[in-house]
Amino acid sequence: MSDEPARSWTDSLSAAERVEAVALTVSEPRTANWIASEAEVAHETATKYLKRLTDDGKLSSEERGQQTTYEPDLVGQYLIEMRELYEGHSPDELAASLEDMNEQIRTWKTEYDVETPNELRASLVRTEDATDERERRQAARKWDHLETRRRLVEDALRLYDRFPGERRSISA
């Protein structure tokens, strides 16, 4: 047995990183007090970083009576990611990424004889093999993720038409 005390997840992160980690993973709006408790920081510290995350478009806040609640700003995060793709990749790189995603989706459609991730989930009733069931579930989750990534990449590609020449140059 080791003499070292068990390390908390908070030991390797700054207060700002802990607040961000908690705030960006909540599944429902939460108060600064709740986030502070989970992130193991003081209320004032949480409030300071939550305001910064809200200003940066990563969180949205809502006044509920005398409390403010916070949750991930999905539109803000989408726009930030789209801009990062636009600024960090050439149209050819984005198109190649899109081709890879489309190929993976075509593979799942053929392999499982379905057209959508939900059809793949529904196919679970036709299998009795636990490994196959797990693989289908995992493929459906990945497929959902790729659908979101595909829309994101498509939107980033549209920025090249909308704002030609506005893109910052990429250093090779």
Same domain? 128 vs 58: no
The DSSP code for 113 is T
Q: What is the pLDDT of residues 11-27, one digit of tens each?
A: 789 999 999 999 999 98
Q: Which amino acid is at 116?
A: T
Contact predicate 58/76, CB 8 Å: yes
- The pTM (predicted TM-score) of the whole model is 0.65
Answer with the one of 36, 54, 72 that is the final residue of a domain.
72
Q: Which amino acid is at 138?
A: Q
CATH value at residue 26: 1.10.10.10
| Helix, coil or strand: residue 61 | strand
What distance in Å separates the CA atoms of residue 47 and residue 119, rounded to the nearest whole number? 43
Same domain? 83 vs 156: yes
pLDDT confidence band for 167 (50 / 70 / 90): low
Q: What is the pLDDT of residues 39-85, one digit of tens each?
A: 999 999 999 999 999 998 899 999 988 999 999 998 888 888 999 99
Mean pLDDT of 100-118: 96
Q: Which domain holds residue 80?
A: 76-162
Does residue 169 lie in a domain region?
A: no
Same domain? 85 vs 145: yes
Instruction: Please tell me the predicted confidence (pLDDT) of residue 1.
Output: 47
Answer with the one of 72, 95, 116 that is the final residue of a domain.
72
The CB-based long-range contact list for 2-8 (8 Å cut-off, 24+ gap) reads 8/40
Cα–Cα nearest to 33, from 51, 25, 16, 45: 45
Same domain? 90 vs 156: yes
Instruction: Please tell me the predicted confidence (pLDDT) of residue 67.
Output: 92
Mean pLDDT of 24-33: 93
Mutual angle of helices 43-55 and 32-39, in 10-degree steps: 110
Same domain? 59 vs 29: yes
Residue 113 Rama label (left phi>0; alpha psi -120 to 50; beta): left
Q: What is the pLDDT of residues 124-150, one digit of tens each?
A: 988 888 899 999 999 999 999 999 999
CA geometry: angle 78, 82, 85, nearest 5 deg: 140
2 vs 55, higher pLDDT:
55
What distance in Å separates the CA atoms of residue 131 and residue 67, rounded to the nearest whole number? 47
What distance in Å separates the CA atoms of residue 80 and residue 78, rounded to the nearest whole number? 5
Does residue 99 lie in a domain region?
A: yes
Same domain? 100 vs 156: yes
Same domain? 102 vs 157: yes
Domain tally for the chain? 2
- CB neighbourhood size of 125 (10 A): 8
Q: How distant, in Å, are the alpha carbons of 35, 65, 103, 135, 141 from that of 121?
A: 34, 41, 20, 10, 9
Same domain? 148 vs 81: yes
Q: What is the pLDDT of residues 46-55, one digit of tens each?
A: 999 999 999 9
Answer with the one of 72, 93, 109 that is the final residue of a domain.
72
